Amino acid sequence: MAGPAREMSSLYALTHCTLQLDLHAEPGPRLAELIREIFSLEAVAIFDSDLHAVYPSGPWSIDPGELAQNAYHFESSSDDAATGLSRRVLRLGSVPIGSLVLRGETSPLLNDAIADIVAITFDRYRATANESRMEAEREAEQMRAAVLDGLAHAYKTPLTAIRAAASGLEEMKPLTPAQADLVALIDEQAQSLSDLTTRLLSTARLASTGANGAQVFSLRGAAVSAATLLEEAAALVAGRAGDLRVEQMGDFTLLCDVRMISMLLAQYAENAAKYADPGSAITLRAERSGDEAIFSVHNFGPVIAQADRERVFDRFYRSASGTARAAGTGIGLSVAKRVALAHGGSVWVASDEREGTTFFAAIPLTPAKDRIAASSTAQQHNAAQQHDRSSAA
């Protein structure tokens, strides 16, 4: 078989073999063996910069690791007829990802082709590894959600009994002032635990995903005015937030899960109440921006560091600037983020000493159909709105 024809046949064989590789394991060792066997080379060495590993095959009188790493670090691709060594930098596009060193009878074009096949195989391996990691993370998230759901349900029954017992004790007149204070404390703390378990249940529900990563719950859609959502959120935190102000810029409605969005805003307001400077106001605000409703809750208090402004929405994370100021679990803001994401929206926070801290949530006025199912009431409301607009036109 002529030289070029033989090279093409060998390249085809190498390509075919790489497609059969189990990419759940590092491909470097097997690639080095395949290249040496298929092209009848004396020795092969492959360097994977991502794993910082060298895979040699065949006898080497000098350190193959040093050869391969030097080729990578100095980005040297060469063919030395005197020593029979050929060096190639492995690239994905213009990005170097490793190197290949061959010893034996080859041609420059063949070496280029082999290097391309190795680089593509490394890329496929990394894509497979990323997919496996994402699947493992999804399964771990499902496990955490199941545990949270189980714990929250387990706590609900005894908490209900504790609150009922506290109410019964309160009715047993007369109580001494000390006894009355203890009963009030029991009821207050039982209510706090009940609120926490409700958040845990909400977190578990929002975190649940199916085998394809899609959410397994459906939001209950209803058309509601932004003013109503602000009022419901304010009512949920009444007594726990001091000077609470509500502002609405324009009159508009949106299709959403009313209970979930109210919970998001209430969490923002409650969070603001925890960290607000004594005597300062907390402002709940809603305005329309294009096809979105922008809700915000503002307060003056500790500044959230730039590095913490994304992480505060992670479950169980608490900013260092706030841990000494108020107790918390690090759950509430993660629930708020999941509520917004479930509606196809987003959350963020702005914070500085002069302007104060503002938590934002952008919620689409009409989420995608696969995210939320409109109730018949909402559909009728929307139809009535369209009829009114048509009549006005």
Q: Which fold has domain 219-392?
A: Heat Shock Protein 90 (3.30.565)
pLDDT > 70? residue 141: no
Q: Band the pLDDT of 384: cuts 50, 70, 90.
A: very low
Q: pLDDT over 90 for what percent of the chain?
A: 37
**E strands present in 41-141:** 43-48, 53-57, 78-80, 85-92, 95-103
Q: Out of 3.40.1440.60, 3.30.450.40, 3.40.50.1580, 3.40.50.300, select the CATH number for domain 3-133.
A: 3.30.450.40
Q: Check residue 203 and give its pLDDT.
A: 59
pLDDT > 50? residue 382: no
The pLDDT tens digits of the residues spanning 322-343 come to 544 555 455 678 888 888 988 9
The residue type of 94 is S
**Helix-then-strand count for the chain, H and E:** 10, 13
Cα–Cα dist 345/339, whole Å: 8
Q: Which contiguous run of DSSP H or E holds residue 139?
A: helix 108-170
Q: Check residue 146 and give its pLDDT.
A: 64
The pLDDT tens digits of the residues spanning 95-123 come to 899 999 999 999 999 999 999 999 999 99
Q: Do residues 351 and 309 lie in contact, with contact meaning Cβ atoms separated by under 8 Å?
A: yes
Tell me the domain boundaries of the chain: 3-133, 140-207, 219-392
**E strands present in 177-305:** 219-225, 243-249, 253-256, 281-289, 292-299
Q: Band the pLDDT of 69: cuts 50, 70, 90.
A: very high
Q: Check residue 238 and give its pLDDT.
A: 74
Q: Check residue 319 and give its pLDDT.
A: 62
Average pLDDT over residues 149-170: 77
Q: Which contiguous run of DSSP H or E holds residue 31?
A: helix 28-38
Q: Do residues 29 and 58 lie in contact, with contact meaning Cβ atoms separated by under 8 Å?
A: no
Lookup result for tokens 């790493």:
69
Radius of gyration for the alpha carbons in the chain, expressed in angstroms and rounded: 31
